[in-house]
Chains A and B, each alone.
Chain A
Amino acid sequence: MREAYIVTSVRTPGCRRNKGAFAKTRPEDLLKTVVDAIFERTPNIEKKDVEDIMIGCAFPEAEQGLNIGRVIAQMCKFPDTTCGATVNRFCSSGLEAIALQIMRIKAGWCEVAIGGGVESMTIVPMGGNLPRPHPEWAKENPDVYISMGITAENVANRYKITREMQDEFGYHSQMKASNAMAKKLYKEIVPTPAKRYVEKNGTWIEETVLQDFDDGIRPTTTLEGLKKLAPAFAANGSVTAGNSSQTTDGAAATLVMSEDAVKKFGLKPIAKMVGYTVAGVRADEMGVGPAYAIPKLLKLTGKKLEDIGIFEINEAFASQAIYCLQQLGLYEKRELWASDSDKRIINVNGGAIALGHPLGCTGAKLCAQLMTEMRERGVKYGVESMCIGGGMGAAALFELVE
């Protein structure tokens, strides 16, 4: 099979739901910014060269409904010949979209495509606007509709991930992100117009500012502060707002091409996707997903854990992230993930606890982050992985192009 390459990978900042910079910005506008940015950051290529746009979205309805992939192609003034689709696998949707485009290229069905993801958790709430679990099925097996926070509690309780461990992990995520923000390490971020509406002299005015940082990062976080937070999902639980991912608005997009196309346009690709896989687990402990998906991925690609130089493992909750690292044998090696270690290879610039988890965007967003990190550090193999609501895990292996 022929090769497919990642050429450009960008993201908007992640901004807090309701209180953040993007609360009044439509998801299509976030997506438009990153899709357009691909063409600013990639020389020699034009919109007409792109055959298809696939967008991951966890709640593809209302403002992000009506096949946002095609809507965005039109909004970004691609010609009619550029197609579009929406992809949903909840939290891996963005990665799924990129992987689908990679496969299409590898199969020889396509030359140039965009995969990405978007989620405005402010505008379309988690669970959607009209959640309607099936009445009989909800009576027989309500776990299919279980709250994500409860699955995190289940993981913590079943596998004895303590509150202290979770808070510590959350603290390091914030510190790593604070460090990266201060040193401007998120090179994949595209400054994104953020709208706000203000009442002035009896009329309403739309204002636009350029947002260029993740506004959920809290450099002032302390362990003592985290300890004081009340459990968010269970009366005597250990999962809090401080050791869970933030709900966030954001978009990300990645340009992928065949080897022929790379040569034709004279581009230098960043990496290639070596493999992508999903693994099914129990719905009521969906957070364990990466513990199954990563070994499956390594087996599929014939790699050993030691071959991997960097990991982006989505921090949906500290409890599940810790459990997955434990299963991989990485958690006990504190130097691999702690903020005060320069040997760290796991979520090196912080994870979703600090940067946010815009559901359908996350897969594409982590890809963009991973591309920056692999290129900056010259790491050969990188793994991106996440757990998925309903009980799944996804993982992808990337290889840096020298």
Chain B
Amino acid sequence: MQRRIRKAAVIGSGIMGGGIAALLASAGIEVMLLDIVPFDLKDEEKNDPKARNRIVQAGLDAAIKSKPPLFMDKKKDPEMISIGNLEDDLNKLAECDWIVEVVVENLKIKQELFKRIDGVRRKGSIVSSNTSGIPLKEMSKGLSLEMRQHFLGTHFFNPVRYMHLLEIIRGDKTLPEVLEFMANFGEKMLGKGIVWAKDTPNFVGNRIGVQGMGKAMQAMLEHGLTIPEVDALFGPPMGRPKTAIFATSDLVGLDTMAHVSKNCFDLCPNDEMRDTMKIPDFVNQMIEKKLLGNKTKAGFYKKELTPEWKSIRKVINPKTGQYEEYGKPDFPCLEAAKKAQTLPEKLKAIVYGDDRGAKFAWDVVSNGLIYSANRIPEISDTIVDIDNAMKWGYNFEMGPFETWDAIGVKKSVKRMEKEGLTVPKNVKKMLATGATSFYKLKGGKKLYFDFATNKYKEMAANEKAIVLADLKANKKVVKTTASCSLIDIGDGVFDLEFHSKMNAINKEMVDFMMEAGEYVLDNGVGMVIGNQASGMPAPFSAGGDLAYMLGLARAGKFAEIDGFIKNVHKGIMGTKYAPYPVVAAPYGLTLGGGCEVCMAADRIVAHADLFMGLVEIGAGLVPGGCGMMHLWRNYVDSKPEAAKLTDMAGFFIQAFMCVAQAKVSSSAADARKNGFLKPTDRIVFNRDILIGEAKKEVLKMVDDGYVPPRKKKIPVFGREAHGMLWAEMNNMKIGGYITPHMEKIAKRAAVCMSGGDVPQGTLVSEEYLMNLERETFVDLWRTEETQKMAEHIMNTGKPLFL
């Protein structure tokens, strides 16, 4: 039987239920969202469907309003969702191919619900629970065999759209094909990274994660550190999110965290580190006082306004329970980590340092490594699943075993033994075989150490997933510089990878693009422009190298800026008209120059979470890499040539506002709505397969017989745009909505996008538009205001409006 999920039911409309419904809807799947009928209905409301659906409606509304947005298209995606309640609409579950339960974490309620579902569901439909900790075997007690064969755990992480992890838990009777189907569905349709978890309390991510947080909190008190000190150590310097330990708890909610910890403590009586799951007293007192984190506007951190309306961040003092102000944490090991280039070096600098902070970090990290190794095979069969769970569910750059490799297994084990820590048996056994790392590359294949067989095993490779780091380690780099590389990704396709800071586009890259082009011309069939940076959101490319151009401007070297832009144009148009197909694979932050590189490609294969825009105006500039021209072209090309464009303004205003307001898309769907993506560009839900899909697209274009686009002239709105814009800018100026220099930039952008001083409908050449853009770009750099704006955004990350 060919399984398909045409319609899904999500039961429970809280944060997780709403998030799952939103993700499914964004992926184009029809959803029925159900919740309970309110208990407090008045008599006259008892037959009113609106009143009966009040809870689920509120849940859906909250999902639509959530920030960051859960829906990829806030207007259209919610239309995929119908709402209902568990009394009137239960029978409709028979229409659904997948029913996912996301109700309150209460075994009895869940058991009762599953019994009711068993009575109405269609045979063969899949039923899953999103529980974060309740054992499946308890929930499935007393259910029909047929349902149990189709019953599993699908554990998403919050916020559902943005967290990559999906834990799949096998029930005792689940059919293998059901598990396989759901893993494939989660991976391909929903873009998730699958971790196979066992039916143990809190599964993988939260078991390791919560133990780590508990240990860190306890150790903080033992070592006498402060909350800001802990967060400074356990944040970006260790490859973890900025929110580190305590700000993450604020984000999740202290009560939720405590609940998950308690669940683990109660259900794992034999856990050797059970005591680390105990939440410290001061935290319990905070929960009693309803200091639950961001949702109550006060947790470990609290924002306060001074009488001068200045926002200050106060932190709770565990000893006094009072909020206090703390200075910036300062440890020698943090200083050393700051200087280190790579994450392994940073990690080593911290855990092997000898200051207070370093000793604390070692205590927590070593404990976490030991705990993770001891969990195999209890919670998962492989180290890979545990590493993935922490990377995808907690946004760590490295999982525990990768971290262990980074700090050196032998060295750290020695220290553990010296300090009297119990080194896990499986790790000792591994070292005894002569193996010194959990992962290694051999013959171009990535291997991991399998504890069960005490041997290295090949990683189960996702055929579609191309991992650039692995290819690089396998010497597939054919050309490289400090900021970018050309990598052979097989079948004659080469990947142009950016790897500068924030993947900002600099002079070196522009020169390299041309060299890389020549290489592909001689040796390949096509090119992918793609990279795999991490972060939240990760940068495909955050824009152009402002520092370089600002330096030139400050030195009065405007001819050099002009020359640089000429080269940028050459590079960008070179990829556009190359005799081989070029496919860009953007994801995450794709701003300014990054956006412009993509728009010049033959096709874009974008990750669904795409934050794309031409934001140069915030730095006092206009886009300088043909961005305005290509955005406008996307607009006019989106209609069949035979249809006459009578209202050019209807197209122009939208395209112009993207630039003038520095609009950044909230998703790939939104980028398409705003014309950054063409109708023929593709959206892929799973970032892991993005480069693979882009490569597929290149090969398909080659197979179809590729010829580069023909040069053609572009119709422009011309001087009519100026009349409109000058009139409207007058209103904005008097209304106090625009500052003088911003007005100047906006007007100059309008002139560039409208093709200068020509009548409406004039067909102009690309070279003409490029010259307009380049002259404008250089002219703006000549102004003191633009130099100030660029400097300000470089230093603060925020625009200065002059």
Contacts and interface: CB of A to CB of B under 8 A. Distances in A.
Contact of A133 (B724, B734, B737, B757): B724
A188 interface: no
B305 interface: no
B727 A130 contact: no
Interface size class of A (residues with CB under 8 A): 20 to 34
A235 B731 CA distance: 11
B446 interface: no
B719 interface: yes
A146 B729 CA distance: 10
Contacts of A149: 731, 735
Contact of A138 (B646, B649, B723, B737): B723
A153 B736 CA distance: 11
A134 B720 CA distance: 7
A132 interface: yes
Interface in B691-726: 719-720, 722-724, 726
B736 A132 contact: no
Contacts of A236: 736
Interface in B154-192: none
A133 B646 CA distance: 16
B730 A135 contact: no
A130 B649 contact: yes
A233 interface: yes
Contacts of A284: 734
A73 B720 CA distance: 36
Interface in A191-246: 233-237
B735 A135 contact: no
Contacts of B726: 133, 135, 138-139, 142
Interface in A152-175: 153-154
B608 to A, nearest CB: 31
A138 B727 contact: yes
Contacts of B646: 130
Nearest to B735: A234
B754 to A, nearest CB: 10
Contacts of B735: 147, 149-150, 153, 233-235, 237
Nearest to B729: A142
A132 B737 contact: no
A145 B734 CA distance: 13
Contacts of B722: 135, 138-139
Interface in B647-666: 647, 649
A150 B731 CA distance: 6
A145 B737 CA distance: 17
Nearest to B760: A132
A243 B720 CA distance: 33
Interface in B721-760: 722-724, 726-727, 729-731, 734-737, 757
A149 B730 CA distance: 12
A131 interface: yes
A146 to B, nearest CB: 6
A81 interface: no
Interface size class of B (residues with CB under 8 A): 10 to 19
Contact of B736 (A133, A139, A146, A234): A234
Interface string B622-655: 0000000000000000000000001101000000
Contacts of B647: 129-130
B727 A234 contact: no
A143 interface: yes
A227 B646 CA distance: 43
B720 A135 contact: yes
A131 B652 CA distance: 13
B737 to A, nearest CB: 6
A133 B722 CA distance: 8
Contacts of A237: 735-736
B737 A234 contact: yes
Nearest to B738: A235
Nearest to B754: A135
A153 B720 contact: no
Contacts of A142: 726-727, 729-730
A146 B733 CA distance: 11
Contacts of A137: 723
B672 to A, nearest CB: 26
A135 B737 contact: no
A135 B719 contact: yes
Contacts of A150: 730-731, 734-735
Contacts of B727: 131, 133, 138, 142, 145-146
A33 B63 CA distance: 47
Interface in A234-265: 234-237
A147 B732 CA distance: 9
A236 B734 CA distance: 10
B616 to A, nearest CB: 23
Nearest to B648: A130
Interface string A95-135: 00000000000000000000000000000000001111111
Contact of B731 (A129, A130, A135, A146): A146
B735 to A, nearest CB: 4
Contact of B734 (A138, A139, A153): A153
A296 B646 CA distance: 44
Nearest to B726: A138
A153 B724 CA distance: 21
Given A133-B723, A135-B720, A284-B734, 18 more contacts: A131-B649, A131-B727, A132-B649, A132-B724, A135-B726, A138-B723, A138-B726, A138-B727, A142-B726, A142-B727, A146-B730, A147-B735, A150-B735, A233-B731, A235-B735, A235-B736, A235-B737, A237-B735
The 8 closest A-B pairs by CB, nearest first: A142-B730, A145-B727, A133-B723, A234-B735, A235-B736, A138-B726, A135-B719, A135-B723
30 contacts: A131-B724, A131-B727, A132-B649, A133-B723, A133-B724, A133-B726, A135-B723, A137-B723, A138-B722, A138-B723, A138-B727, A138-B730, A142-B726, A142-B729, A143-B730, A145-B727, A145-B730, A146-B731, A146-B734, A147-B731, A147-B735, A149-B735, A150-B730, A233-B731, A233-B735, A234-B736, A235-B735, A236-B736, A237-B736, A284-B734
